[in-house]
Amino acid sequence: MNFLFRSIIATLPLLASARAVGVAPKQIKNFVTFGDSYTDVVSVGDGGTAWPVYAAGYANISLFPFAKSGATCSNNLTDRPFPSVFESQLPTYFGEVNNGTLRLDPEETVYTLWIGTNDVGVAALLTGDDNASIADVTTCMVDWVKVLYESGARNFIFQNMIPLELTVLYSADSYPNKFWDFDRNTTEWSVFMTELVLSGNELTLLKLEALVPEIPGAHVAHFDSHTLFEDMYHNPADFLNGTVPLNVTGCVDQCIFALNDPSVSDCTLINGTARDSYLWFDELHPSEQADRIVAREMALVMEGKMSKWSTWLS
């Protein structure tokens, strides 16, 4: 009996700690976004309204967007002519903080990052145009948390990469399109992309878990975009609600190019409520309906509620 009593008493602090993980309900009033076209609210990748706008409305919080289309984590690793997280987005954010334009209470603010699609894609790791590795890129992604933490930020949601091999661009059945109209082995691309995404997501999770003890007082959530999109792909009726048959292999804005000749293309565009039947907007980007699902789940996390797609690591 004494041993059992001592065991129960010893467990109580652990239970209290578990209940304290994550943000509290109604704690978050602001969220700051970093990333690429999946998150950009100006150059919107889904052809409609970007998910952060929906999420801000669902959670009734204020949005401060810094994500930019075409971005990678760092142009020093994957050199692209777009505003990367470390060379552009973070400096812009810190510039606004330092000049007083942006004044946010750290306890009431959550920071989100959804990056990697361009880092592992064409003209980057997939096609071998850089000397960086997936290990370098994932270290950069996790360093985003460290840099913001050192500036005073305390609440973070890290969104991992979706199963990019399920997009039209990286599927085994892909065709020449606006993102890549040159010759390629589509099966090889699809297999390699699968490996890049799976290994990248595993590395970032391990590195985030290793980082948590080094950032006391921080709350870090891991949002599993990969599993969410796998579920949407395999169980579309649970997520898509358009007025035509559900479609997870085609896209709303489709352009089939002539091989090696972008001046010749056959394009179709789906309009109206039929769009909500599609998982993909174009050959690379999620549809607006898919993004509404992302927004709904992200809003739950920011509201201090439970989402099956998210885990608080601290």
The DSSP annotation for 254-276 comes to: EEEEETTEEEEEEEEE--GGGGG
Q: How far apart are the first and last CA of the chain?
A: 33
pLDDT tens by residue, 168-200: 999 999 999 999 999 999 999 999 999 999 999
Which parts of the chain are beta strand (E)?
30-35, 62-65, 109-114, 155-159, 219-223, 253-258, 261-269, 310-312
Its sign, for the CA torsion 8, 11, 12, 13, is positive
Q: Is 2 among the domain residues? A: no
What is the C-alpha separation between 285 and 168, in angstroms, rounded? 9
Look at residue 19 and tell me whether its pLDDT is greater than 90.
Answer: no
The pLDDT value recorded for residue 37 is 98
The parent domain of residue 76 ranges over 28-164+185-241+287-312
**Domain presence at residue 282:** no
DSSP 24: P
The number of folded domains in the chain is 1
CATH number, position 70: 3.40.50.1110
Is residue 21 situated within a structural domain? no
Report if residue 277 sits inside a domain. no
Query: 229-263: per-residue pLDDT in tens?
Result: 999 999 999 999 999 999 999 999 999 999 988 78
How does residue 131 score in pLDDT terms, banded at 50, 70 and 90? confident
pLDDT at 20 over 80: no
Is pLDDT of 12 > 80? no
Instruction: Compute the residue count for the chain.
Output: 314
Mean pLDDT, residues 280-290 taken together: 98
Rounded CA-CA distance 168/170 in Å is 6
Q: Which two tokens stand for residue 236?
A: 């579309």
Whether 17 maps to a domain, the answer reads: no
Q: Is there a domain that residue 4 lies in? A: no
pLDDT of 7 strictly over 90: no
Place of tokens 């592992």: 120
For the chain, the average pLDDT equals 94
Token pair of 190, please?
């699809």
- Joined tokens for residue 19: 């209940």
Higher per-residue confidence, 164 vs 14:
164
Tens-digit pLDDT profile for residues 63-81: 999 999 999 999 999 999 9
Residue 98 Cα distances to 95, 241, 285, angstroms: 5, 45, 34
What are the CA-CA distances from residue 86 to residues 35, 206, 252, 286 (Å)?
Answer: 10, 21, 32, 24
Residue 261 lies in a domain: no
Query: Residue 18 — pLDDT band, cuts 50, 70, 90?
Result: very low
Report if residue 294 sits inside a domain: yes
